[in-house]
Amino acid sequence: MLKQLAIKLDQAAASASSVEQLSLTTELALSDAYQVQKLSIEQRLSRGEQLVGYKMGFTSRAKMLQMGVDDLIWGRLTDAMIITQEQAINLDHYVHPRAEPEIAFKLKAPLSGIVTVEQALAAVEAIAPAIEVIDSRYRNFKFSLSDVIADNCSSTGFIVGPWSPADTDISKLQMQLLVDGKVAAEDDSSAILDHPLNSLVEAARCISDAGEELKAGQIILAGAATAAVALAPGQNIEVKVETLGSCSFSTQATSQANSNTSAEACS
């Protein structure tokens, strides 16, 4: 049964189509929801995708308030989710994507179980500004906690900017999400669990509870500092983090369907 739910969510993500919330018909314990997530990622891995890291979610009040959920969640990141600097993404590949400003850690050593902030920092190779593109597979971007966990915490894409040394002070850096050069959301990095490193501490604990561990080379997204912003065609999206720098991508001006139509109209 869990496998069927995993396949359903994987297919919804692969075909950019939405499904009804699982919780409307199925009662899933959180542990079952994480199992569905794992099984759905296994579908991706069986198609050749590689696990490259993990993302934390609902690590800021702004995100919890926006989504009406107030528990920490985590999901898995694969290489197929990587968006490159200045890439123009095609919105046809998503249901209702949103962007949010994040901080990424790259690890140089494994990390698992209960660790202190100092131990977490000692495992970090580098820190970067990041943008996460999230896309719920549920209609109207509405979900319960178990729904969103099963749906790999809305993971769909992420872009990481320039790497800074691990000893960079990230306790209170201004973080801005700009749409076409205008600030659409902003806060400072302390909005992420008081300090983004606390999110890495939580990641080590949660992922080892699930029988996995954070590994050297993996990327961990600490969670958004602000509410997410809906994407529309023809936008430039940039995240600027004080000291760390920025990263950006754009959305293609027209969807494939529209550009076909206009090509026909012109000929």
Binding site for Mg ion (CB under 5 A): 132, 224
Query: Does position 224 bind ligand OOG by CB under 6 A?
Result: yes
Instruction: Report the residue number, 132 or 147, with the smaller CB distance to Mg ion.
Output: 132
- Binding residue for ligand OOG (CB under 6 A) from 21, 35, 63, 248? 63
Query: Does position 57 bind ligand OOG by CB under 6 A?
Result: yes
H/E stretch holding 30 reads helix 30-46
Smallest separation (angstroms) from ligand OOG to the CB of 147: 10
Residue 198 CB neighbour total at 10 angstroms: 17
**Buried/exposed 183-193: b ≥16 CB within 10 Å, e otherwise:** ebbebbbbbbb
SS3 156: strand
Residues in contact with ligand OOG, counted by CB under 6 A, come to a total of: 15
Instruction: Report the residue number, 41 or 153, with the smaller CB distance to ligand OOG.
Output: 153
- How far CA 30 is from CA of 34, 74, 206, in Å, comes to 6, 12, 12
> Tokens representing 224?
């958004």
Taking a C-beta distance cutoff of 8 angstroms, is the pair 261, 100 a contact?
A: no
Give the dihedral of Cα atoms 263, 260, 94, 61; nearest 10 deg: 30
Smallest separation (angstroms) from Mg ion to the CB of 189: 14
- Binding residue for ligand OOG (CB under 6 A) from 223, 231, 238, 251? 223
176 binds, among Mg ion, ligand OOG, none (CB under 5 to 8 A by kind): none
Q: Which of residues 133-172 bind ligand OOG (CB under 6 A)?
A: 134, 136, 148, 153-154
Distance CA 148, CA 146 (A): 6
Residues engaged in binding ligand OOG (CB under 6 A): 55, 57-59, 63, 67, 100, 132, 134, 136, 148, 153-154, 223-224
